[in-house]
Structure 1
């Protein structure tokens, strides 16, 4: 009788451990490829070249994030989102993250409360694009 109780308790503990297991998201894949386009005349000095850089693909439990940076001279003039999360609060945080990146002119941006994983993925993708420069 004592062995039966012990076996049932250990089985329940094993079941709970497996049930609560959450695999970690796959590691990021760096894909930073610079592309240079034609010179621009809008809002920039004459002869300034617009450079477009792709950030890495960053996966988290809510989806995938990938950004594209547009530089005119030494300044980040646009941050475009190529891949965005499928669900979660991170979707609503994306405009805030874009504004932060344009203001900071770097990947050193604040995380958005409630969207930590998306914010971290966004910053990693930004940093990969900046590193490719």
Structure 2
């Protein structure tokens, strides 16, 4: 009986952190790929405009050469469009993707929202690579990030359907 009280007190003290732990607390923050990749993408799209503008100002002989690339770029830019899929709620958190199309080809997939967890951070590049390779939402689920994968595929499919 003398041992029972300290054992119970220590057991309760040891279980309190377990009871207070919530897996959702680690997932409150979300991953967003939009903020980081936007800057490099703008630089890339700005670079061809800068290089095409430079030959235009160098002389009259260069003007006909730059006219063709300038006409091609607006046509390509007109064909490039981004479509956001719906936000899909999963057991791990909300997943939403944005798909960039060049004509009918998928050229990029960004996670607008995703759970902030290690499995998700490891799964997102694999899911993106699979989607770009398959050119559809018919991709494999990443082991360890099943809920995120299913949400990713659902948002991706909706974005593809919305682009048609």
Alignment gaps of 5+ in structure 1: 1-39
Task: Give per-residue Cα distances to partners, 1:53-79, cap 9 Å, x unaligned.
Answer: 001101112111100000011100111
* Larger relative strand fraction: 1
**Alpha-carbon distance, 1:85 to partner:** 0.7
For residues 58 and 109 of structure 1, the distance between their equivalents in structure 2, rounded to whole angstroms, comes to 17
**Alpha-carbon distance, 1:127 to partner:** 0.4
1:77 to 2:107 alignment: yes
* Larger relative helix fraction: 2
The match for 2:120 is 90
For residues 159 and 138 of structure 2, the distance between their equivalents in structure 1, rounded to whole angstroms, comes to 13
8 Å CA contact 1:58–1:121 kept in 2: the answer is: yes
8 Å CA contact 1:59–1:121 kept in 2: the answer is: yes
Task: Give per-residue Cα distances to partners, 1:36-61, cap 9 Å, x unaligned.
Answer: xxxx889xxx3231111001101112
1:56 to 2:72 alignment: no
The match for 1:104 is 134
8 Å CA contact 1:63–1:87 kept in 2: the answer is: no
Query: How many aligned positions are there?
Result: 91
For residues 148 and 110 of structure 2, the distance between their equivalents in structure 1, rounded to whole angstroms, comes to 15
Task: From 142, 147, 154, give the equivalent of 1:124.
Answer: 154
Structure of higher CA gyration radius: 2
For residues 118 and 110 of structure 2, the distance between their equivalents in structure 1, rounded to whole angstroms, comes to 20
For residues 89 and 80 of structure 1, the distance between their equivalents in structure 2, rounded to whole angstroms, comes to 17
Q: TM-score, normalised by structure 1?
A: 0.63
For residues 162 and 135 of structure 2, the distance between their equivalents in structure 1, rounded to whole angstroms, comes to 15
Alignment gaps of 5+ in structure 2: 1-44, 50-71
RMSD: 1.8
The match for 1:31 is none
For residues 128 and 88 of structure 1, the distance between their equivalents in structure 2, rounded to whole angstroms, comes to 26
